[in-house]
Amino acid sequence: MKTIHKICLALALILPACSGGQPQHPAETPALKDVYKDAFKMGAAVSSFDLSGRNPELVDLILKHFNTLTPGNELKPESLHPRPDVWNWERADRYVDFAVEHDMFVMGHTLCWHNQTPEFFWNDKDGKPKSHDELVETLRSYIETVCTHFKGRVDAWDVINEIVSEEGGYRDKGWVHAFGGEEYGDEIVKTVFRFAEQYAPDTELYYNEFNVWRPSKLEGVLHLVKMLQEEGIRIDGVGIQAHWGLNYPKNHYVEEAIEKIAALGVKVMITELDIDVLPLSKEGQIIGQAMRDPQFQLEEFEEFFDPYKDGLPEEVEKELADRYEELFQIFYDHRDVIDRVTFWGPHDGSSWKNGSPIPGRTNYPLLFNRDLTPHEAFWRVAAIPGK
Ligand code: GLA
């Protein structure tokens, strides 16, 4: 065999992405959780619908590649406790029991958040704002009820989600707004983590946040962790939500965030990973609902905003693969401090990115296509630990 052929064959074996002929059937892929078993847990946020068995191949894919699950919506306050006199456990129990039965690390997402939380958490039955003490009691009894219910089945809680502002203070929304504004942020964080420590003693306790890479926001997250540590309140880790794009955030920001959080001695997790390939959010996170305005559904915007309805062009497939490869290289290089990487969804068809920030588009943010075949990005990610 000519030397050049030998080199090509060797490359094709170690770097499936370069072979151009990698298997397309989902059953022929290596299991991500095995490929990364010495690095970190590999997870996905999946829904009850995904686990329902209506698509048995999807359940196989989830069980094959992931050893930790995050319920997309099932354990959020509006799902568990939609009205003052109603608690819904059935769907959440089925979900959590499925994960326990399959020996997966189960994430409780999330106890305290400004979103997907009914108004009655903050206002009394006459619609009047609750007093300070009533708010503290609402938090206490909710955390007690939920953590006690899932005791021994949920392994870790996202205790608070997204309370830090882009500037590094606190967002004046939800609980912060109900308590009276930003100056109550520190108190709320301490109160909530104290209750979590009290009622969920055998679980890990995390803070979860988006745009943590932004230096001003990172300062706010570091402040939150240090404050809890100085008060002797337990926090075990920080989840860096990774709703990112093809060219943002810049890699050095991601590395700085991982390293500065790890320097505080807590675990780092990459949570909610997806890479938006569509305008405008392939280049930056759009916060808020502005792009839901019906004008953006008009015919004249369609070609620009929703360009890949009939399939992902090869050059974008490659850009997606390059982006995933560089990010997983960073994660793998930091495997001594990263405990878990979780994708926000198992495949493109189930991603929230088809509906946000603009509804009704066709996005390709994950490692698996709608028909569960792997993207080129899958092979690049799978090749990193063996390099
Ligand atoms: C946030 C939340 C998740 C989920 C995603 C979008 O980042 O933490 O629970 O709602 O947004 O789907």
Q: With a 6 A CB cut-off, is 161 part of the ligand 1 pocket? A: yes
Model pLDDT for residues 87-109, shown as the tens digit of each residue: 999 999 999 999 999 999 999 99
- Residue 20: the pLDDT is 54
Structure pTM?
0.94
Residue whose Cα lies nearest atom 12 of ligand 1: it is: 352
Residue 236 has pLDDT above 70, yes or no: yes
pLDDT at 170 over 50: yes
Which pLDDT value is given to residue 13? 39
Contact 159, 107 (CB under 8 A): no
Chain position carrying tokens 């999807």 = 58
CA of 259 to the centre of ligand 1 (A): 24
pLDDT on residue 2: 41
Cα of 257 vs centre of ligand 1, distance in Å, is: 20
Q: Tens of pLDDT along 46-90?
A: 999 999 999 999 999 999 999 999 999 999 999 999 999 999 999
- Percent of the chain scored above 90 by pLDDT? 93
The reply to whether ligand 1 has any atom less than 6 angstroms from the CB of 50 is no
Whole-number Å distance between alpha carbons of 263 and 329: 20
Atom of ligand 1 nearest to the CA of 76: 9
- C-beta of residue 108 within 8 angstroms of C-beta of residue 100: no
- The answer to whether the CB of 276 is under 6 A from ligand 1 is no
- One-letter-per-residue 3-state SS of the chain: CCHHHHHHHHHHHHCHHHHCCCCCCHHHCCCHHHHCCCCCEEEEEECHHHHCCCCHHHHHHHHHHCCEEEECCCCCHHHHCCECCECCCHHHHHHHHHHHHCCCEEEEEEEECCCCCCHHHCECCCCCECCHHHHHHHHHHHHHHHHHHCCCCCCEEEEEECCECCCCCECCCHHHHHHCCHHHHHHHHHHHHHHHHHHCCCCEEEEEECCCCCHHHHHHHHHHHHHHHHCCCCCCEEEEEEEEECCCCCHHHHHHHHHHHHCCCCEEEEEEEEEECCCCCCCCCCCCCHHHCHHHHCHHHHHHHCCCCCCCCHHHHHHHHHHHHHHHHHHHHCCCCEEEEEECCCCHHHCHHHCCCCCCCCCCCCCECCCCCECHHHHHHHHCCCC
Asked if the model's pLDDT at residue 234 lies above 50, the reply is yes
- The minimum-distance atom of ligand 1 relative to the CA of 72 is 9
Annotation says 272 is catalytic:
yes
The average pLDDT across 346-361 equals 97
Residue to substitute in 241, 272, 273 for testing ligand 1 pocket (most ligand atoms within 8 angstroms of CB): 272
In the prediction, which pLDDT does 191 show?
A: 99
Query: What's the 8 CA to ligand 1 centre distance in angstroms?
Result: 43
| pLDDT at res. 229 | 99
Q: Is 274 in the pocket of ligand 1 (CB under 6 A)?
A: no
Q: Which amino acid is at 222?
A: L
- Nearest atom in ligand 1 to the alpha carbon of residue 352 is 12
272 lines ligand 1 (CB under 6 A): yes
Query: Of the residues 74, 162, 197, 325, which is catalytic?
Result: 162
Distance from the alpha carbon of residue 116 to the mean position of ligand 1, in angstroms: 10
What pLDDT is attached to residue 8?
39
Query: Which band of pLDDT confidence, cut at 50, 70 and 90, is reported for residue 23?
Result: confident
- Catalytically annotated residue among 74, 197, 204, 272: 272
